[in-house]
Each structure stands twice: as C-alpha cells, then as structure tokens.
Chain A
Amino acid sequence: MTNNPFPLSRDELLTAYRTMRTIRDFEERLHVEFAKGDIPGFVHLYAGEEACATGIMMHLTDIDRIASTHRGHGHCIAKGVDVHEMMGEIYGKATGCCRGKGGSMHIADLSKGMMGANGILGAGAPLICGAGLAAKFRGDGGVGLTFFGDGAANQGTVLESMNLAAIWNLPVVFVVENNGYAESTSVEYATAVDSYVDRAAGFGLPGVTVDGTDFFAVYEAAGEIVKRAREGGGPALLECKTVRFFGHFEGDAQTYKAKGENEHNRAHRDCLKLFGARVTAAGIVADADLALIDREVAALIDDAVDTAKGAPLPGARELTTDVYVAY
C-alpha cells in the first residue's frame, strides 16, 4: 500500500474531488443554459474558486453556519445543499429550495447551516457575528463563517464586524475570496493594503493568506482557524487568492481582463486539475477513480437540469405567502 502523504484519507480525497467537480459542472452547465436564455435574472458563477469552498467546508458540520455572497453556488454545494433543489431555485420553480422566491442570489438552506447567498455586499459579516453569538450562548461548539470578495471586504459592515467579533471573542471566521476583481475593478485599485491579513491585524485578528487554487493549502489553513474558533480561541481571517474563470455575471464581456487571462488560469490555475495531478501522482487515487466521479457528477447535473426544466412554476398564491410568520 502506498503511503498517504495527505492529511485526508483516500475517501476524503475522493469526497473533496466530488464536491469540487460538482461545483464546476454545475457552474459550467449554468453558463451554457444561461446563454440559451433559459435562466432568468443575474447569475454569478463560482467556477475557478471551488477549492476555497471545499477546503473550508470539509471542516464544518450542519451546526456550523455560513453566510454566503452573490457568488454562492459553490458555498451551497460544499455545505451540502441539495443540487436538485438549487437548480430548481435557479430556474424559478416551485421545487427550488426557496420555492422559487429567491433565485440564484438568495439560495438558503438553514437545515444545513447555510444562511443564504446574499445580494448585498458585506451583509453576511454582521449576520455571522450573530451566528457566533448564538453558538456561544447555546454552547454547542458551532462556528460561523462569512464569505466575502476582495471588493466587499471594503464594506463598513465587514470592518465593524471584525472589531465586534474580536472584542466578544466570537467563534467566527472571515473568509476573503480574493479573485482579483470586483465586477471590472481590480483589487489593486480598490484596496489600499497589499494583504487583507494586514487589515485583520489592525482589528487584533490573526490571519493567513493562502493560494486558493491549492485545495490542500486551503484545507490546512482553514482546519487550524476553524479548530481555534471552535475551541474558544476567537475569530480569525482567511484570505484565499483565487481566480474566476467566467465574467462577473453571465453576459459580462470581460474586456477588463488581460488577453488570454482566462485561458492561462484554466491551463495553470485550475484547482481541479492541480488536485487531480497531486493525488494521482502520489498514487493514492487512480485516474479511473476520478473519471468515475466525473461521469457520476455529469449524470447528476444532467438530471438536476432536466428535473428543474420540467418542474412546475410556483402558483399565484405563493406571491403573498411567507411574508410573516403570523400577521
């Protein structure tokens, strides 16, 4: 038997790969379906960033809460939200996880600790402080993680929340997914410091920057930070430097990117390829194992899309339900 040089078992490695592949296929497929005009509204794809969500979420269980962003599909899948229900939601169908009322930008599944994708930048940070506070009062050992981009990192809500989490020693993790762009604007233009870790330091928070295309780097850094928060060691920041393969949203011509940038990223910074190469080179996983997962995931996504397309629309009554618990 080959020695396993990784901090994960073979099964865990296969799970990680399956999660990343599911996110990738989900997003690639949405890109195609959107172009056909079948998907309503704004869709922000997570392709390229899969290792961030996956490497982090493998340290969490359903008692742990996450607050996501407009680019939330990957967070949802990695946190265990049902792919069929997500697809139904994105198509605006009654079978969606929010019964078609929320759409891509508002997918939520509280039973999985997924407190919602969010259309408002920086809105998740205060909410996750609340999740951390609730976990502390309940004493259940749960942690809260809020995700935000390099752009949303400049929202006052994020900065206020770091201070709040620090003074109350909340079990909260701030995750910056730094993909270099906020819409078309570069992080170099919009953010004065070179590293978000420097900024966290200003609030008394420890932090670490990792290569977000390297699953293992994310996994190891997140493991330490989450463990520390869970054990009462307090909040921290994790910056994942990553890449977004598609435009800001579907329909973005991406002229602000360098020529060949997407191709370069797909060739050299594809977290799935990098992961596959490492685990197969180590002899822990065979190409055939990965190929089997690829086929299973492809079938899952096909079925999710077909099911969503065939699902019923919400009935007119739904328009006025769910506004209050009681009224």
Chain B
Amino acid sequence: MARMISYKQAINEALDLEMRRDPTVILLGEDIVGGAGAPGEMDAWGGVLGVTKGLHAKHGNRLMDTPLSESAYIGAAIGAAACGMRPVAELMFLDFMGVCFDQIFNQAAKFKYMFGGKAKTPVVIRAMVGAGFRAAAQHSQMLTPLFTHIPGLKVVCPSNAYDAKGLLIQAIRDDDPVIFCEHKALYGSEADVPEESYAIPFGEANIARDGKDVTLVGYGLTVPRALSAADTLARSGVSAEVIDLRTLSPIDWDTVIESVENTGRLVVVDEANPRCSIATDVVAHVTQHAFGALKAAPQMVTAPHTPVPFSPALEDLYIPSAEAIVAAVHKTTGPVKSAA
C-alpha cells in the first residue's frame, strides 16, 4: 500500500526520527516552535511554513526558537557541532545567508582542513530555495552554486518527498556541514514514503526516467519540469533520460557521464542564474570527460541573469519551463518529425 505524504511531512518525519535516535540532535531557528513568551499557544507556527510543526510536543526544549540574529544562532549551531552536538539549524529562506555567511564559509567549511583534519562539524543548515512563490528578489533565489563553490560544504536539494526524507536523515548523520535546500514550491508535492528510517547516500544521482536519445540533468524543481518535458518529447518520438542529481556537492559525475555516453546529448536544467552555476559545472565536466560521446553541443536551460522578479507575469518567465527544456532538446536533436 502506498503511503503518500508531502515533501514537507517527509522533512518533519526525518527530523523526528533522527531526534529519537540521537540525543545530540537539536533544532534551532526562528519560530521553529513559535509563540515563545507569547500569551497564546506554544508551537503556534512550527516554522514559517509549518515544517517543524508538532516536533515541540515530542522533543520539548531540544527545539529552540532564536532571536532574529542569524549570525549568532547559525554560528552557535556550528560551534555546538564542533563540540559534539548535531544541530539542525533552520535559516528559513536561503537568501538570508547573506547575514551569516562568514560563519558558514569561513568557519564551518574550513575547520576540518585548517585544523589539520582534527575537527568535524556535523551541522545541517536547512533553508528554503527557489522561485514561484511571488516572494520577489530577496526570498526566491536559487543560491546553490554559492555553496558548491566552497570546499568543505556539502549541498543537497531534493526533488521529491521520498528523497527529502532519506537525504535529510543522511545529512544529519553526515559528519560534514550540509546546506540542505528545500524547494518551497515542492512542499506540497507527495510521494510514496516508507514509514521507517532510511538514509540516501550523498553523491548518488537518481535516474528518474530512462531514455536513450538525450540526457536531461536537473535538481529540485527542475526535475519535475524535466519529467514533464520528457513526456512531451516522448510524444514526438524523442526518448529523454532524466537524471536527478539530488546532491550537488558531492556530485555524481559517473551517472551523468554514463548516461551521456549512451544518449550522446546533454541538456542541463538549473533554476540558478546562468553564470558559474550547476549547469555550467555539469556541461564543463561532461565536455571535458565525454567529449567524444557528444553528438551535439550541450545545452543549458537556466534562470536569466537577473534577480527574481515579483510580478507573476515575469516570475513565470523566470523559472525554466518544460517548454524551454523541450526547445533546448530540439537544439541538440535538430528538427524532429512529429510521431503523430
């Protein structure tokens, strides 16, 4: 029997299971419980979109609401991780990273190396990413490439509820700092998710759909978009393989290369801005390592080189669409006859 739960519930479940398993797991963040010191109900919010709702009743003061001081509490999570805890800090929107970036890229990311291998920093920083919420330029960015650029950080971005649960469990158990990116437009998306605990190893991409003519690579929201493009392409006789990277650092080069060696064509779909992005990274790697297999120039479908606009009329054009993916595939295959 399928057990359909949402991406949001899957994250809640992963946190609950890991808190039960390991007493060193603590949660910190703004309004992750909600109602602290207020006259009404405690657990009033459970996070700004309710992801941690109900965990306070189960785990009490292992959930800590914080003041609006990201440098201090994200830094405190990192410091506690270096001292034997496994904090999961919620940054709400990844855009707020600007406020606390030093603690992450100069501190957490570098302890292990700078200290000659002696330190470990098993911290998870959960944050929402992505556009589609009409939340405008400072609450909608896909900043994944900022983090993949930095050695010492791991970067995860699940595309579905099943992966969200397994990847978050792995992130908490992982001994390195992990930036866990939750796509806000996927919170409601449901998948068949087992009740028990399971961890999905980092650096293992998922082949979301088999195909033989072209390889579509994406992560987060671009995976469902690529799958829908693959449906359209199938109707015109083009068989697209869809690879969900799942983790961006480490990244599963082998699965991507193997697929391109079979299909000979590559289209990378990335919601980040186009320069120095996950898309450019994948295209560069494949071009360098599987050049001989390519039958056409690799294509990239990305957000434009602009901030995220507010107006729905513009935001809808901003996010890579299934139509844009189909058009990019057609560039690699040349004009195809419709199978109608």
Binds A, one of B39-47, B161-169, B215-223: B39-47
B138 in the interface, Cβ–Cβ < 8 Å?
A: yes
* A201 at interface by CB-CB < 8 Å: no
- Give the docked Cα–Cα distance between A188 and B96 (Å): 24
Segment at the interface with B among A19-27, A48-56, A147-155: A147-155
Is A191 an interface position by the 8 A CB rule? yes
CB-nearest residue of chain B relative to A254? B40
Tell me which of A4-12, A97-105, A228-236, A283-291 binds B.
Answer: A97-105
Q: Residue A184 contacts which of B34, B99, B138, B313 (CB distance < 8 angstroms)?
A: B34
CB nearest to B34 among chain A residues: A184
Contact among A92, A151, A190, A256 for B313, CB-based, below 8 A: A92
Chain B residues within 8 Å of A121, by CB: 68, 99
Chain B CB within 8 A of A223 CB? no
Whether the Cβ atoms of A154 and B314 lie closer than 8 Å is no
Interface centre among B37, B41, B95, B98 (most CB of A within 10 A): B37
- Say whether B313 contacts A183, CB under 8 Å: no
Contact call B96/A191, Cβ cutoff below 8 A: no
A190-B68 CB under 8 A given contacts A42-B139, A183-B34, A320-B304? yes
Given A40-B134, A121-B68, A181-B38, CB of A155 within 8 Å of CB of B99: yes
Query: Smallest CB-CB separation from B138: which chain A residue?
Result: A119
The smallest beta-carbon distance between A195 and chain B, in angstroms, is 16
B313 lies within 8 A of A154 (CB): no
Please tell me if B31 contacts chain A, counting CB pairs below 8 Å. yes
- B44 near A154 (CB under 8 angstroms)? no
Q: Does A282 contact B (CB under 8 A)?
A: no
Q: From residue B169, how far is it (CB to closest CB) to chain A in Å?
A: 28
The stretch of A129-137, A207-215, A310-318 in contact with B is A310-318
> Which residues of B have CB within 8 Å of A103?
134, 136, 310-311
Q: Which residues of A contact B39 (CB under 8 A)?
A: 186, 256-258, 261
B136:A119 contact, CB within 8 angstroms: yes
- A188, B99: Cβ atoms closer than 8 Å: no
Chain A residues with CB under 8 A of B312: 40, 92, 313
CB closest residue in chain B, given A159: B69
Residue of A nearest to B65 (CB): A185
A154 to B68, CA, bound (A): 6
Name the A residues within 8 Å of B99 (CB-CB).
120-122, 155-157
Task: Decide yes or no: A190 and B71 within 8 Å by CB, A92-B312, A106-B136, A157-B99 being known contacts.
Answer: no
| 13 sample A-B contacts, Cβ–Cβ < 8 Å, listed by A number | A40-B311, A41-B136, A92-B314, A101-B311, A105-B135, A152-B68, A154-B67, A154-B68, A157-B99, A189-B38, A254-B40, A313-B313, A320-B305
**Hey, which bits of chain A sit against chain B, CB under 8 A?**
40-42, 89, 92-93, 98, 100-103, 105-106, 118-122, 151-152, 154-157, 181-191, 253-259, 261, 313-314, 316, 318-320, 323
B interface residues (Cβ-Cβ under 8 A, vs A) = 30-31, 34-41, 44-45, 48, 65-72, 95-96, 98-99, 133-139, 304-307, 309-314, 317-318
